[in-house]
Amino acid sequence: MNQKLIFLDIDGTLTEPGKNVPPRSAVEAVRKARGQGHIVVLCSGRNYGMLFPVLEYGFDGLIASAGGYIEFNGQVVYDCPMTPEQQARVLDVFKESGIYRTIGGKNCSYTDEGFKEFLAENAQSQANSELLRWRIQIESELDIHPMSEYDGEPIYGMAFMSRGAERLKKPMQVLKDEFDFCIQDEDACGIVNGELASKAFNKGKAVERLCEFLGIPRTDTIAVGDSMNDLEMLQAAETGVCMANGSPSLQKVADMICPSVTEDGLYSAFETLHLI
């Protein structure tokens, strides 16, 4: 088999949402695939600083901030934070619209005051995996600071949550020329969550950039994800794999569906694709 370049989302794919410890089977799958000469790269919406607890399990490179920062074997391949003017527009219009914001710098993330209480109230079950993911991240393992500590450092993107889609109309109108919105399906409680990122990058463009940097054709790429922010990544790769616990919308466009993250899904996918 030709050497494959494999892109792995983290939350809901490599690990359970918001966790930093992959199942033993997933660690073994990555180890065996690299042992066969394949290249395995993390590709996450998390910022660079949030990746460190996962990187210790052994990867060849990383894509952070949904494509805004790319590094391979310690070499920076791409780095594209927002301009100060863009940051100001983004922060102001979301605040004016009453939408909870979590912004990601290179090493730290910051979230609006009151967001933790909002999550505690609305993320009581698996009904909305994104809400649950953020609750776990804020309350336990991941380093997220209150917005009051934000000092203007460059940011790469923003996750947001809103009570209903109506509040998103103004931000989308104001920012549509510069930014892409990845919006998840509205849940049963009317909560809408999503991510905002510069049109200059996304996970799919990151796949293309790293392929070009390494001289690897996209016909030798595989991407594994679980949510709609992985859509472009799966579309850019030759083979797109969605977890069984993933978004129904993403499953429709995936080339393959593997078992869930808690059912050794990554190991199963690697076996099926003859990577191990």
Q: Within this chain, do residues 214 and 190 fall inside the same structural domain, yes or no?
A: no
Q: Within this chain, do residues 89 and 188 fall inside the same structural domain, yes or no?
A: yes
Q: Within this chain, do residues 178 and 213 fall inside the same structural domain, yes or no?
A: no
Q: Within this chain, do residues 92 and 165 fall inside the same structural domain, yes or no?
A: yes
| Least confident piece of the model among 10-14, 40-44, 114-118, 231-235 | 114-118
Q: Within this chain, do residues 64 and 159 fall inside the same structural domain, yes or no?
A: no
- Please give the tally of structural domains in the chain: 2
Task: Inform me whether the pLDDT recorded for 275 exceeds 80.
Answer: yes
| C-beta separation of 57 from 241 below 8 A | no
| C-beta separation of 130 from 193 below 8 A | yes
pLDDT band at 124 (very low <50, low <70, confident <90, very high): low
Q: Within this chain, do residues 130 and 209 fall inside the same structural domain, yes or no?
A: no
Give the tens place of pLDDT for each residue, 215-225.
999 999 999 99
Q: Within this chain, do residues 116 and 245 fall inside the same structural domain, yes or no?
A: no
Q: Within this chain, do residues 68 and 90 fall inside the same structural domain, yes or no?
A: no
> Residue 234 maps to which CATH number?
3.40.50.1000
Q: Within this chain, do residues 89 and 194 fall inside the same structural domain, yes or no?
A: yes
CA distances from 52 to 48, 107, 155, 240 (A): 7, 10, 18, 25
Q: Within this chain, do residues 218 and 181 fall inside the same structural domain, yes or no?
A: no
CA distances from 185 to 84, 111, 128, 182, 270 (A): 31, 22, 9, 10, 29
Pairing of strands 256-258, 239-243: parallel
Q: Identify the domain containing residue 208 by its residue range.
A: 5-80+201-272
Q: Within this chain, do residues 192 and 90 fall inside the same structural domain, yes or no?
A: yes
Q: Which two tokens mark 3? A: 């050497």
pTM of the entire predicted model: 0.86
Last residue of a domain, one of 159, 182, 198: 198
Q: How far apart are CA 160 and CA 164, in angstroms?
A: 12
For residue 126, what pLDDT is reported?
47
Give the tens place of pLDDT for each residue, 57-114.
999 999 999 999 999 999 999 999 999 999 999 999 999 999 999 999 999 889 898 8
Q: Within this chain, do residues 106 and 151 fall inside the same structural domain, yes or no?
A: yes
> Residue 106 maps to which CATH number?
3.30.1240.10
Give the tens place of pLDDT for each residue, 188-207.
567 888 889 899 999 999 99
